[in-house]
Amino acid sequence: MQIEIFALCDAAIADFGKLSMLGAFDTIGATKIPIVHPQCAIALRVRFERIERGEHKVIVQFVDIDGKNVIPPAQGAITMNFPEEQSSGSANLILNIQALKLEKFGQYSIDLAIDGQQKASLPLFVKERK
């Protein structure tokens, strides 16, 4: 399996096999804490090879620098099934987040695990803006 896209963005949609994203970012500036970011999305596109057909468990965790969950872990499953003549197939997943509350300045992490293995990690930096 290959992670083709894993991004934090302002918005994302998946329609007819296409993944569209708006405004990918890794930094938020704030004058005070806590900050509530009104809306964002985690967009994921994964490619699976012929041998990887079947169900795959996906977990996304959004944690602070101390490893404390910022939001509850998102858990789901992808079932990959594509025609025999195709060598691979892709799946798009979107996790929409409303009113994301960030309690402190510093670094956060968005961690992706598939089938119990860590596959990718995204940093989010919350910086004090003066």
The residue with tokens 């994921």 is 44
Amino acid at 104: K
In order of their start, the domains of the chain are: 2-128 (2.60.40.2550)
Q: What is the mean pLDDT of residues 71-78?
A: 95
- pLDDT number for residue 130: 82
Residue 71 has pLDDT above 90, yes or no: yes
- pLDDT number for residue 43: 98
75-121 pLDDT tens trace: 999 999 999 999 999 999 999 999 999 999 999 999 999 999 999 99
Residue 67 has pLDDT above 90, yes or no: yes
Q: CA-CA distance, 98 to 39, in Å (whole number)?
A: 5
Q: Whole-model pTM?
A: 0.92
